[in-house]
Structure 1
Amino acid sequence: MKKIVTVVGARPQFIKAAMLSRQFKLLGVNELIIHTGQHFDANMSAIFFDEMEIPKPAYHLDIHSLPHGAMTGRMLEKIEKILQIEKPDAVLVYGDANSTLAGAMAGAKLNIPVIHVEAGLRTNNMSAPEEVNRVLTDRISNILFCPTTTAVDNLEKEGFNQLPVHIFNSGDVMKDASLYYGEKAQLKSDILRRIGVKKFILATIHRQENTDSPETLRNIIAGLNEIHKQIPVVVPLHPRTRQILAQQYSLPNFITIDPVGYLDMIMLMKKSELVITDSGGVQKEAFFFGKHCIILREQTEWIELVENGFSTLVGSNKEKMKEALEVFSRKTSDFSVELFGNGSASAMIAKEIINIL
């Protein structure tokens, strides 16, 4: 029986792990999960494991609320010790969080094969911590599963096809999750009753490039306040963002709620008029649930969404936010196009891993 250690720590990773863990169980793989603790709020962590039926972590490192270097370093130290004890056949990491890089580095330094799911994404903005994490993780991984053709092309441009690695265009496991959990959300979520508004825009803000710049955050808050005058804006607020707002700003005019679980988030996206976000994962989820998306960034790793007119980049520009809202309020799009595969990525990834190991 093959043993795989999976390292997760942030919300999008929990969702992806839920889909792949289910496939590992079907194939008889012994998977041990390390939860770094990067997202430590119960509504951002424990609830995902409960409602998504993810196997409980074998290890919980409880590392959070630290600068990037300290956080990544402590994760690396603890993950390395666990790998020396468990001696897995491979280390599996997802996405672009600090947990991703720490897990990949720990595996690489111990000569354990590293598997990167969601490889090949690029914004070419190396000032963003996420870009640093994904570029370095790709370079030290042995098996790379790309969610899109663009991601495969990115790796080839960087010379990965000349390296002793395995590269696959697997499609996106988040697409699998949207299909699997979409129906469950319809049956189990009562978030619409709790927020008490029927017509609304869903927004999220958490990215460091937005929250750590007072001017940028002020512009985003002002833009959302303006839009809220036209149609209610509902924002599940990341604990870190809430803390920054409490320290530096008066309360916004739009509706803020505590972080929500995945099923509640699905319902919010399904019933929203439109999504405004700086999250990479939420950009895709908006597309999966048939919603246009205004992206509060200057670049996106999901360029397919912009190129095909499903999303638009506005940065923190208040006027661009309002203009994008006006355009999307009149626009109809065909969301059935398969930009991210057909919903079978998890099964394909699990089988290829077994074949290689």
Structure 2
Amino acid sequence: MSSVGTEAAEVVHIVGARPNFVKAAPVVAALEKRGVRQSVVHTGQHYDDRMSAIFFRELGLPRPDVDLGVGSGSHAEQTAALMVGLEKEFISRSPGLVIVYGDVNSTVAAALVAAKLHIPVAHVEAGLRSFDWTMPEEVNRRITDQLSDICFATSPDAVGHLAHEGVATDRVHFVGNPMIDTLLGNLDRFDTAELGRRLDLPDTYVVGTLHRPANVDDPEIVARLTKRLHEVADQVDVVMPVHPRGRRAFDDAGLGGHPRMRLLEPLGYIDFVTLVRGSAAVITDSGGVQEETTILGVPCLTLRPNTERPVTITHGTNRLVVDAELPGLVGAILAGQGTGTATVADVPPLWDGHAGERIATILANGAATR
């Protein structure tokens, strides 16, 4: 076994999509305090201002040293372009460690390239499992964990999954959730009254956010979801920042045709979390939103058959639902009944705002690699 240290060699962070930026910010900040030489490579998987640049400004992330500008495409096209661009970067930089985040295509592409170049890889948010192989993210996270020298887990169940898959215990570190570091560090910026005035929001509203292929790629499913969301809007205003991936499908289905449906362009991090904080409930298919609502205490209805974040159900406000349940459940929440799913009256363990510091300490002290 050898050791990964951060004293001299450069640490390269790979980010490519909105959730990566939120997770990377506290890790970058904690390593900067320790004087670690580091750089940020933005792959450009999310590439316009609303999906990318505004996050760097709001979260205090350093301007990316490199922006590969890969953009969209099929999974094969995007991953191939990412691997070609990242290989050039890694060869020119010779980093001592590559840190990847989450489960997007940038994550697995960087892990593959680094492993073949014999560069140690650390995966932040390792071990999450939905056990649904139809989800591209499940493929990405499983492959990344097998290639990673250091696995930083956000929850106890993630540690268990890694052990079950044969990942050596000295490669796994339970550190908590850096996304929650970012949330807790910005609590005083989530001014619901100011956002309500600026966006002319009603006193009571529900937030919607849907982007996963299973929900937005099939026109028949989109039409059905549109019908259910309109039934929710019969009871309460629905405010929905629409992800570019699903915009055309929802427009074609007439989602904005209901007088109480409020469709917005994608929001920056501060505005979006503020919107969620002030809502009566959230309808989503996002992993990160399940985590954020757990900490904010906002009822979360996750429109998926599974979740890789079960801790948000046992310790939080999250509930897995099918579309037919949405109108009734929203009605129950508005009547003060909540989602009624949490079995532990506490936040998940180590979701305390110090995950980035734990990660930096482990890296600075050296971590075992294969």
Query: Does the pair score TM above 0.5?
Result: yes
- Is 1:69 matched up with 2:76? yes
How many angstroms does 1:252 deviate by? 4.2
Q: Secondary structure at the match of 2:191?
A: helix
**TM-score, L = length of structure 2:** 0.90
How many angstroms does 1:308 deviate by? 4.5
Partner of 1:212: 217
Find the aligned partners of 1:236 and 1:196 in 2 and give their Cα distance. 14
- Is 1:149 matched up with 2:153? no
7, 21, 33: which one aligns with 2:14: 7
Mapping 1:17-28, distance limit 5 Å: 17-28=24-35
Which 5+ residue runs of structure 2 have no aligned equivalent? 1-7
Find the aligned partners of 1:252 and 1:127 in 2 and give their Cα distance. 32
- Is 1:86 matched up with 2:90? no
Question: Is the 8 Å Cα contact of residues 182 and 266 (structure 1) preserved in structure 2?
Answer: no
How many angstroms does 1:128 deviate by? 0.5
**Alpha carbons of 1:229 and 1:248: their partners in 2 closer, same or farther (altered >3 Å)?**
closer
134, 141, 144: which one aligns with 1:127: 134
Question: Is the 8 Å Cα contact of residues 41 and 239 (structure 1) preserved in structure 2?
Answer: no
**Alpha carbons of 1:235 and 1:326: their partners in 2 closer, same or farther (altered >3 Å)?**
same
- Is 1:16 matched up with 2:23? yes
22, 38, 42: which one aligns with 2:49: 42
Partner of 2:354: 344
Question: Is the 8 Å Cα contact of residues 195 and 271 (structure 2) preserved in structure 1?
Answer: yes
Q: Secondary structure at the match of 1:233?
A: strand
Identical-residue share of aligned pairs (%): 36
- Is 1:98 matched up with 2:105? yes
Find the aligned partners of 2:191 and 2:29 in 1 and give their Cα distance. 21
Partner of 2:186: 181
Mapping 1:191-210, distance limit 5 Å: 191-197=195-201, 198-210=203-215
Amino acid at match of 1:343: G
How many angstroms does 1:249 deviate by? 4.5
Question: Is the 8 Å Cα contact of residues 306 and 312 (structure 1) preserved in structure 2?
Answer: yes
List per-residue Cα deviations over 1:33-52 (Å, max 9, x = no partner).
Answer: 11111111211101011111
How many angstroms does 1:224 deviate by? 1.2
**Alpha carbons of 1:352 and 1:225: their partners in 2 closer, same or farther (altered >3 Å)?**
same
How many angstroms does 1:23 deviate by? 0.6
Q: CA RMSD in A?
A: 1.9
Q: Number of matched residues? A: 352
Question: Is the 8 Å Cα contact of residues 155 and 349 (structure 2) preserved in structure 1?
Answer: yes
Question: Is the 8 Å Cα contact of residues 190 and 277 (structure 2) preserved in structure 1?
Answer: no
Q: Which has the higher contact order (CA 8 A, sep 6+)?
A: 2
**Alpha carbons of 1:252 and 1:119: their partners in 2 closer, same or farther (altered >3 Å)?**
farther
Question: Is the 8 Å Cα contact of residues 7 and 99 (structure 1) preserved in structure 2?
Answer: yes
